[in-house]
Amino acid sequence: KAGVTQTPRYLIKTRGQQVTLSCSPISGHRSVSWYQQTPGQGLQFLFEYFSETQRNKGNFPGRFSGRQFSNSRSEMNVSTLELGDSALYLCASSTGTGTYEQYFGPGTRLTVT
Amino acid sequence: DAKTTQPTSMDCAEGRAANLPCNHSTISGNEYVYWYRQIHSQGPQYIIHGLKNNETNEMASLIITEDRKSSTLILPHATLRDTAVYYCIPLAYSGAGSYQLTFGKGTKLSVIP
């Protein structure tokens, strides 16, 4: 079974721009969660999508948004980029029901200059 | 959400058992304990989880104390590839069927040749 894929793997953007990251979950998984990892704050939960609906949200500003498509693929968008948005963005897929293990992708490394 | 306390770092000789402790004294009765690890520059990897009974899988064993206030992850024969940051995470139910992983700082395990 193919694992979680994220594209692009690396991205450099300028402050004020916006960016869209993509995540393809494991086949059959309906839940996609997004996390931000920085050296200072560690791994922080952004939001979770299940069956095209946002089911849970962390404490991030509205500049961070996401969506999920009918094939469970998910995108995350960050608008008006700030230097502090430089981070590794990870997505994780799971079945989304019961107590479930999350399987993480390799991440997208975003650098904002 | 339950708070966790883990050693900042630990060393283990290659081939020996690695025992990683976690204190979660405020865990609620229905919170599972999950363990993940993150090898440098990769996404976190699910290891094992449990509620109150000891659990074993192909990767590790999980020992949970009877009062559920602490647990120990055991890697029976550590290899150099087990060098990683290990996270102990009580799984918090966030409503509407959603669970949220809250990562702490984890334990940096170094396996020494």
- What is the tens place of the pLDDT at every residue in A5-16? 999 999 999 999
Rounded Cα distance between A107 and B64, Å, is 31
In the predicted model, is pLDDT for residue A75 greater than 90?
yes
pLDDT cut 70: percent of chain A above it: 96
- Asked whether A18 and A81 are in contact (CB, 8 A), the reply is yes
Interface contact A75, partner B, CB < 8 A: no
- Asked whether B6 and B88 are in contact (CB, 8 A), the reply is yes
Least confident window among A66-70, A72-76, B3-7, B8-12: B3-7
B4-16 mean pLDDT: 96
Partner residue facing B103 (CB), from A43, A103, A107 = A43
pLDDT of residue B27: 87
Task: List, in sequence order, every beta strand (DSSP E) within B1-113.
Answer: 9-13, 18-23, 32-38, 45-50, 55-56, 61-64, 70-75, 84-93, 99-100, 107-112
Beta-carbon separation of B98 and A56 below 8 A: yes
Read off the pLDDT band of A62 (50, 70, 90): very high
Beta-carbon separation of A33 and B101 below 8 A: yes
- Tokens describing residue A3: 């694992």
Nearest alpha carbon to residue B111 among B87, B83, B92, B72 = B83
In the predicted model, is pLDDT for residue A100 greater than 70?
no
pLDDT of residue A107: 96
Strand-by-strand arrangement of the A19-24 sheet: A5-7, A19-24, A74-78, A64-68
Nearest alpha carbon to residue A95 among A57, A52, A50 = A50
Kindly list the residues from chain B whose CB atom is less than 8 angstroms away from the CB atom of residue A50: 97-98
Amino acid occupying residue B96: A
Placement of tokens 């304990």 in the chain? B33
Partner residue facing A55 (CB), from B32, B91, B96 = B96
- Tokens describing residue B77: 């024969």
Beta-carbon separation of B43 and A92 below 8 A: yes
Collapsed DSSP state (helix, strand, coil) of residue B81: helix
